[in-house]
Structures are given as structure tokens and as C-alpha cells.
Amino acid sequence: MACTRIDDRVAAAFGFLQDAAAEFVQACDVHYGGVLFALPSLILNGLLRYTATCFRRPRGYYGLETLFLV
């Protein structure tokens, strides 16, 4: 399916949604999914520490932290 959670996407398009929560679904495999094992150590080393001060993004479907993590 090309587009999921249509209600959330429409709300974000009109500025009614601050940040959509990330949803994960079960899958048999994820292409290059092994890189996800690095996320805990990157977060501990400050991956998200300065995102709010160094990066700006207009309101939309995904928030800034979600873009960094997913």
C-alpha cells in the first residue's frame, strides 16, 4: 500500500498534527536492518542532544527526532 494512516497525513498537511508517532510492523527481514543495532550506542553518545538547537523543520508528518531515528 502506497499510503497508510491517511487521517494523520491529512492532519499534518493542514498543520493540525505536531508529530506522528512512529509505528513499526512485523516483517520477515529489513534490507540493511543491521545498521539499527548501532542506534543505542549513537543515542548514548549524543545523536539527539543538539537536534533542537542545530536543526529546524516546519511542522509536518514526521518530527525531527523521528527522521533521525527512522
The grid cell for 15 is: 498543520
Q: Is residue 17 part of a domain?
A: yes
Q: Which amino acid is residue 23, in one-letter code?
A: E
Q: Is residue 1 part of a domain?
A: no
Q: Which amino acid is residue 40, in one-letter code?
A: P
Q: Is residue 44 part of a domain?
A: yes
Count of structural domains, the chain? 1
H helix and E strand count, the chain? 4, 0
Q: Which amino acid is residue 24, in one-letter code?
A: F
Instruction: Give pLDDT tens digits for 8-43.
Output: 888 888 888 877 777 777 778 878 888 888 888 888
First to last CA, the chain: 19
Asked if pLDDT for residue 2 goes beyond 60, the answer is no
Report d(CA 70, CA 65) in Å as an integer: 8
Instruction: Give pLDDT tens digits for 45-56.
Output: 888 888 878 888
Report d(CA 51, CA 39) in Å as an integer: 15
Range of the domain at 18: 6-69
